[in-house]
C-alpha cells in the first residue's frame, strides 16, 4: 500500500509540475502582505492608535495578498506552464477573519519591544496576519 501511495504521489507531482510552487507562492504572499501592512502603517501612522493601525494593516495586507495570490500569481504560473488553482475564497475569508489575531499579536510585540515606528507595526501586522493564507 505504501509503495502504491508513493507511486501515485510521484506521478501526480510529475504531472502537475509543482516543484517550487508552494515555496514561491508562500514567499510572494508574505512579501505582499508585509509591504501592504507597512504602507498602511506609513500612511495612517500618525492618525490612529497602534492597535487600530495594526488591525487595519493586517486585514488589508491579508486581503491584498489573497487577491494577488488568486489573480496575478495564477497567471504567472500559467505562463510558466504550471497548473495552480489558487487559494479557495473560503480560505481567504477565514484568513481575513483570523488576521485579527495576527494584528493583535503585532501590537503586543510592539508593546513588549517599546517604541516602534508605525511602519514597522504595520509591516509586522501584515506579516503575522497573512500566515494562514500563505499555504
109 exposed, middle or buried (CB, 10 Å; 0-12, 13-18, 19+)?
Answer: middle
The x, y and z cell numbers of residue 116, run together, are 516602534
Total residues belonging to the chain: 135
74, 84 Cβ separation under 8 angstroms: yes
Identify the pLDDT of residue 7. Answer: 58
Give the per-residue pLDDT at 132: 75
pLDDT score recorded for residue 77:
82
In angstroms, the first-to-last Cα distance of the chain is: 28
Classify the phi-psi angles of 88: left when phi > 0, otherwise alpha if psi is within -120 to 50, otherwise beta.
beta
Which residue's C-alpha cell is 510521484?
10
Residue that the C-alpha cell 502582505 belongs to: 33
- pLDDT tens digits for the chain (135 residues)? 556 555 555 655 555 556 677 788 889 999 999 999 999 999 998 899 999 999 999 999 999 999 999 999 888 888 877 777 888 899 899 999 999 999 999 999 999 998 899 999 999 999 999 887 765
- For residue 38, the model assigns a pLDDT of 97
Amino acid at each position: 500500500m505504501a509503495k502504491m501511495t508513493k507511486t501515485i504521489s510521484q506521478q501526480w507531482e510529475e504531472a502537475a509540475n509543482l516543484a517550487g510552487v508552494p515555496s514561491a507562492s508562500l514567499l510572494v504572499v508574505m512579501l505582499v502582505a508585509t509591504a501592504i501592512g507597512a504602507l498602511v502603517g506609513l500612511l495612517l501612522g500618525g492618525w490612529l492608535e497602534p492597535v487600530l493601525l495594526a488591525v487595519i494593516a493586517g486585514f488589508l495586507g491579508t486581503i491584498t495578498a489573497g487577491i494577488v495570490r488568486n489573480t496575478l500569481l495564477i497567471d504567472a504560473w500559467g505562463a510558466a506552464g504550471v497548473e495552480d488553482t489558487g487559494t479557495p475564497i473560503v480560505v481567504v475569508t477565514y484568513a481575513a477573519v483570523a488576521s485579527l489575531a495576527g494584528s493583535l499579536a503585532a501590537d503586543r510585540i510592539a508593546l513588549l519591544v517599546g517604541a516602534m515606528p508605525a511602519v514597522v507595526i504595520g509591516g509586522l501586522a501584515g506579516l503575522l496576519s497573512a500566515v494562514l493564507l500563505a499555504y
